[in-house]
Amino acid sequence: MTKKDYYEVLDVSRDASGAEIKKTYRKAALQYHPDRNPNNKEAEDKFKEISEAYAVLSDPGKRQTYDQFGHVGLKGAGFGGFSDFSDIFSSDVFTDFQDIFGSFFGGTSRSRTRRSADLRYDLKISLKEAYTGIIKEITISKNDTCPHCKGEGHEPGTSVKTCPECNGKGETTFQQGFIGIIIRRTCPKCAGAGTVITTLCNSCRGRGKVKKSQKITANIPKGVDTGARLKIKGEGEGAVKGSSSGDLYIFVHVDEDPFFQRKDDDIITDIPISITIACLGGEIEIPTLDGKTKIQIPHGVQNSKVFRLRGKGMPNLHGRRSGDQYVRLLIETPVNLSKEQKKLMQEFSKLETDKNIPHRKRFLDKFFENFT
């Protein structure tokens, strides 16, 4: 099952401050805490979900890893989420949760810095590119800051006036409920800018943005896997009217390879060998992601025998030991035999004894022992 985005789970923006994340978590934790929702499986699951999200987003290191690589990065960094409540209450989350009831209604509100929209780009790469890492040049289409008005939305040299709706604050407030809770919302008239335009920019007609195609260089690290998310700060939609630029998120998809099968950091390869090599043994050449290597096959090797090549798998995204390559032998039965080859095989068949095929003899002996 695909995990939800942690920012969506807590309903916060990607540039939310630690204080904002903590406040949002407290409110949700109060709502879904098991003590307030006895025998409610849905609330229990929701509480686990928000606690897991908070455990990551409240930790600067984990949050940076998540922003850069998504859930895949956290898996490689040793964070696997919460399996039950003992995980939650033995973690740092519980330290923050203990003071929920003491400070939920306290504190003052701070206006949030507005950001332009983030952008998403889906990038396909080969397994070989994931192995070596690669610098990719991509082209994105986005709304960028208008060069004529510098994102202000009005003609240069003209003035703006204070928004009459919010008096320049960028937000409106009202009281709700019998205890008079103060609710703050972005001003609908000025969209949070605090000012209104009198003369629209001739280039962008007041939007502060223009459509643009832009080339961006993306540095894809070695060891990346499908599901990884790379963040390029400030390359989302352009800044307008006092806001900051959004970010660009590159979602990586690693194509399947016809020769190498990937399992986490390990690589599995099927290698056909001749029946003579299987019988007599010998040295064979094995393809790897960084070239070729040779292994010695012992005589009498059986079909599907697996050999392990240490360190020949994928690099670890977090700089740990590389994975291994597992080579599975597939003994190929010869076809299209010549008369001479058939004659030699027939002669070999006459010389063949149970000693040469011990597994078959043991199987037949056991079979007839049980069914006679």
Q: Just give the CATH number of 6-103.
A: 1.10.287.110
Residue 361 confidence (pLDDT):
72
Cα separation, 126 vs 259, in Å, equals 12
Dihedral of CA 78/82/87/93: which sign?
positive
Domain extents in the chain: 6-103, 119-254, 261-370
Residue 101 confidence (pLDDT):
40
Residue 88 confidence (pLDDT):
42
Question: Would you say residue 280 has pLDDT above 70?
Answer: yes
Cβ(190)–Cβ(170) under 8 Å?
yes
Dihedral of CA 337/339/344/348: which sign?
positive
Extract the runs of DSSP E, i.e. beta strands, from 25-153: 119-125, 134-145
Residue 182 confidence (pLDDT):
72
Mean pLDDT of the chain: 84
What are the φ and ψ backbone dihedral angles of 197, each rounded to 5 degrees? Answer: -85, 140
pTM of the model: 0.62
Helix (H, G, I), strand (E, B) or coil at 323: coil
% pLDDT > 70, the chain: 87
Extract the runs of DSSP E, i.e. beta strands, from 201-312: 209-220, 229-232, 248-254, 261-263, 266-274, 282-288, 291-297, 306-309
Q: How confident is the model over 226-233, as a mean pLDDT?
A: 92
pLDDT tens figures, 131-177: 999 999 999 999 999 999 999 889 999 988 999 989 988 888 877 65
pLDDT tens figures, 175-196: 765 555 677 888 888 877 788 8
pLDDT tens figures, 63-96: 888 887 788 777 655 555 554 444 444 444 444 5
Q: How confident is the model over 313-336, as a mean pLDDT?
A: 94
- Within 8 A by CB and 6+ apart from 174, the residues are 182, 183
Domain 261-370: CATH class, spelled out: mainly beta
- Of the CATH numbers 3.40.470.10, 2.60.40.10, 1.20.200.10, 2.10.230.10, which one belongs to the domain with range 119-254? 2.10.230.10
